[in-house]
Structure 1
Amino acid sequence: MSLSPTAAVSHGDGVIALTTGDVRVPVHPERGAAAPRRDDQPYPPPAGGAELRSLVAEHASTGAAEVPPDAVLIAPGARVAALVVLRAAAEGGEVLLPTPYWASYPTVIGAAGAKAVPVPGAVGTGVRAADLEAARTPATRAVVVNSPRNPDGAVTPSEELAAVAEWAGHHGITVLFDEVYRGVPLRGGHAPSALDLFGTLPEHCAVLDGLSKSHALAGLRIGWALASGGLLKRAQGLASHLVGGVSAAVQATAAEAVRDRGLPERVGGPLTENMHRAAKTLDAVPGVSCPEPGGGIFLFPDLSGWLAERAPEAARRDPVGWLREEHRVAVVDGAAFGAPGHVRLSFALPAERLDTGLGRLRAALEGGGHG
């Protein structure tokens, strides 16, 4: 199996990488090297330590729902939380996956023992219950609703989130609400959450989140699922075998980050500025459409007009390779997300590095030389 197209890799040769999903704006104070832990280290609880679960529950209980600590499943990254929830909910069945979608979801769904079924949708438009119903079969066991969505930042409105939850409950389908990008307060606000809909999270719904985006801690590799009832018990059982508990040292660091209530705002401010500047820069290029996203940390410009009318032959054959090799800027092909003709790039970089990458990208698309 090849690497994920969004995996953090070294491109070398001075290439500016706008490819990965980690937030690199400088928001954390510099610290000295931490001393190694030499005290006794028992296995941590499979669902996470009591302190972190309580802090996450408090962090999540900002909408209508009151999330109890025992509804929290801590995992080594949100994708592992997604894996155990989907395996608990959909093994042997089908999972509806609205397009465009995060490039790793088909693999995660396959690892959960299920089959990913792409559901056609429009770039920049959130999930609709009517589209899911059109794709539903007797084998449908779950659906993924990612809002704000990777790669295009589309936000599903609260009324449609409610419609999806009601539709799924009626048909005995589990909904995994992936809200990993919701924690970044782009433009100073947050997208609607599934937790705004309920006083208590229904058993057929789970919410996925973590610290990678909202707290700029991708390298910590910690995330969580919120769930209840039999779904939670099955997911916890799987996690106990697959993970055996997240590192106690990592959980301690995560607890410190969650206590810092102002950290997401410190992330969201510079990202909003980056987004405005980057979208304006690319939308001005002839043949390129680059609207501002509703949320998240990515731009997802449509290059189809440029590819059809202005691109050199080498760029038409392999636009991403051409940009990397000829112009030293790396982006991700939209085909990896089910949306050919687009590319994905992150604006969650230090401003100077982002501007250098944007300059190279714009020069390439406008017919210039190396940036």
Structure 2
Amino acid sequence: MTAPSPTAVPTRAGVVVMSTGDVRVPVYAPAAQPCPHLADQPYQPPAGTPDLLAAIADRAGLGVGIGNVVVAPGARVAILAALRSILTPDRREVLLPAPYWSSYPWLIEAAGGAPVALAGRVGSADLDNQSLDAHLTDRTAAIVVNSPRNPDGAVATLDTLRELVDWAERRGVVLLADEVYRGVPLGPAAPSVLDVRPDPGERCVVVDGLSKSHALAGLRIGWTLASTTRADAIAAICSHLVGSTCTAAQAIAAAALTSGEGVRAGLRAALTRNLDSTLAAVSTWPGVSAVRPAGGIFVFADIRRWLAGPAPESARREPVGWLRDRHGVQVVDGAAFGAPGHIRLSFALPTDDLDDGLRRLGRAFAAGRAAPCPEGTS
């Protein structure tokens, strides 16, 4: 739980940062006033302001009311509070399909739980009941499903989500669905757990936010959608954990949800161009390959053939450090997500920064010829 974040931004000059999880494509004009939200700021209800609760419920669909919503200062806090409401002393295990976001194990442990990693396949978010049952014990409390998934953009099909919801209800397990990348305007919208269950019910908790969908990571607004009973429990935890979420941030979030489609249209065009450019570049790097992500803002590149072939010895020992120190580009090691031999790079950057980073990576991978893919890998 004391490990540093693998997405920490380097402070040294001259490094192209392709490792962060925020959308850096510029879409907002500067504020007309230097401090437009300077006003009296009383505490707000722990669950959120009425305007933001209504905007979130409206966005979620007919099965969700304001009593199902709890606002938190970012999706991380929302996940932590949701897990704290789910876990008990007797049921502490949380199933975690790989590859997974590197903060999940820490958040699970911080909530008093024990992460149980499930083997997975890069590029596929489908899960089957047999593999889930193989890891199920009388201590299993929840399963975390992230779709679109960080780090590889894999999307769970509607059939998979339906089977997961059914499995969770039959086994008495809570399905925690992290859908923060679902709103990223890149291709068709990914299916949601709410497409299966418009009313979250007692066995589903959905986590979402504005960081990715509206390029507002610094606003730190996330939320949970749950049954009214569980929402009350999550709100009670938030009342102790954070008191209430920033009033000004909630006001901006409510405005973004009710009038932000123009921003999302601009993001869609920019992200699509950036993804096409990134995949075109990756296709020219010897020993490197990547599957086109169905969602999200990352390309998860497989560098195992390069590591097994022309990579220098120092790069084999620490590929991410070698890329940063020798070539001035920061990416994230796939080992942080349970998938060693991969690197995660963001394409949600300003065009000049993205092009510069891709050129640097191209030079790094250019030397030598690729070796065959290791046996038994995909």
Contact 2:93 2:116 in 1 (8 A): yes
Q: Which moved more, 1:327-336 or 1:228-237?
A: 228-237
Contact 1:44 1:245 in 2 (8 A): yes
* 1:121 matched residue in structure 2: 120
Contact 1:91 1:112 in 2 (8 A): no
Please give the secondary structure, in 2, of the residue aligned with 1:45: coil
* 1:360 matched residue in structure 2: 360
Q: Per-residue displacement from partner, 1:178-206 (whole Å, max 9, x unpaired)?
A: 0000001212x211111111232211101
* 2:10 matched residue in structure 1: 10
Please give the secondary structure, in 2, of the residue aligned with 1:186: coil
| CA–CA separation in structure 2 for the residues paired with 1:214 and 1:116 | 28
Contact 1:329 1:360 in 2 (8 A): yes
* 1:313 matched residue in structure 2: 313
Deviation, 1:38, is 5.5
Paired residue type of 1:115 = A
* 1:195 matched residue in structure 2: 194
Summarize the alignment of residues 43-122 of structure 1 with structure 2, pairs less than 5 Å apart: 43-61=43-61, 65-92=62-89, 93-122=92-121
The TM-score normalised by the length of structure 1 is: 0.95
* 1:154 matched residue in structure 2: 154
| CA–CA separation in structure 2 for the residues paired with 1:127 and 1:104 | 21
| CA–CA separation in structure 2 for the residues paired with 1:271 and 1:38 | 33
| CA–CA separation in structure 2 for the residues paired with 1:105 and 1:157 | 22
- Is 1:239–2:268 an aligned residue pair? no
Please give the secondary structure, in 2, of the residue aligned with 1:206: strand
| CA–CA separation in structure 1 for the residues paired with 2:330 and 2:176 | 31
Count of matched residue pairs = 363
Deviation, 1:87, is 1.0
Q: Per-residue displacement from partner, 1:242-267 (whole Å, max 9, x unpaired)?
A: 11110111111111111124132322
* 1:179 matched residue in structure 2: 179
| CA–CA separation in structure 1 for the residues paired with 2:148 and 2:176 | 13
Q: Which moved more, 1:264-273 or 1:251-260?
A: 264-273
| CA–CA separation in structure 1 for the residues paired with 2:291 and 2:276 | 10
Contact 1:178 1:207 in 2 (8 A): yes
| CA–CA separation in structure 2 for the residues paired with 1:273 and 1:311 | 30
**For the structure 1 residues 90 and 283, does the alpha-carbon distance in structure 2 shift closer, same or farther, using more than 3 Å as the test?**
farther
| CA–CA separation in structure 2 for the residues paired with 1:36 and 1:292 | 41
**For the structure 1 residues 273 and 38, does the alpha-carbon distance in structure 2 shift closer, same or farther, using more than 3 Å as the test?**
closer
Deviation, 1:37, is 5.1
**For the structure 1 residues 173 and 6, does the alpha-carbon distance in structure 2 shift closer, same or farther, using more than 3 Å as the test?**
same
CA RMSD of aligned residues (A): 1.4
| CA–CA separation in structure 1 for the residues paired with 2:354 and 2:250 | 31
Deviation, 1:36, is 6.7
| CA–CA separation in structure 1 for the residues paired with 2:217 and 2:198 | 30
Paired residue type of 1:3 = P
- Is 1:304–2:301 an aligned residue pair? no
| CA–CA separation in structure 1 for the residues paired with 2:79 and 2:133 | 22
| CA–CA separation in structure 2 for the residues paired with 1:364 and 1:39 | 51
| CA–CA separation in structure 2 for the residues paired with 1:129 and 1:177 | 16
Q: Which moved more, 1:354-363 or 1:129-138?
A: 129-138
Please give the secondary structure, in 1, of the residue aligned with 2:335: helix
**For the structure 1 residues 286 and 137, does the alpha-carbon distance in structure 2 shift closer, same or farther, using more than 3 Å as the test?**
same
Paired residue type of 2:138 = P
Please give the secondary structure, in 1, of the residue aligned with 2:96: strand
Contact 1:98 1:127 in 2 (8 A): no
Paired residue type of 1:51 = D
The TM-score normalised by the length of structure 2 is: 0.93
Please give the secondary structure, in 2, of the residue aligned with 1:145: strand
Q: Which moved more, 1:284-293 or 1:318-327?
A: 284-293
Deviation, 1:127, is 3.6
Deviation, 1:231, is 2.0
Unpaired runs of at least 5, structure 2? 369-378
Unpaired runs of at least 5, structure 1? none
Percent of residue pairs identical: 51
* 2:170 matched residue in structure 1: 170
Paired residue type of 1:241 = H
**For the structure 1 residues 19 and 10, does the alpha-carbon distance in structure 2 shift closer, same or farther, using more than 3 Å as the test?**
same
Q: Per-residue displacement from partner, 1:253-310 (whole Å, max 9, x unpaired)?
A: 1111111241323222211111111012112222111121111000000000000011
| CA–CA separation in structure 2 for the residues paired with 1:38 and 1:343 | 42
**For the structure 1 residues 36 and 281, does the alpha-carbon distance in structure 2 shift closer, same or farther, using more than 3 Å as the test?**
closer
* 1:323 matched residue in structure 2: 323
Contact 2:23 2:215 in 1 (8 A): yes
Deviation, 1:153, is 0.5
Please give the secondary structure, in 2, of the residue aligned with 1:343: strand
| CA–CA separation in structure 2 for the residues paired with 1:264 and 1:198 | 26
Paired residue type of 1:57 = A
Paired residue type of 1:308 = A
| CA–CA separation in structure 1 for the residues paired with 2:234 and 2:125 | 27
Deviation, 1:35, is 2.7
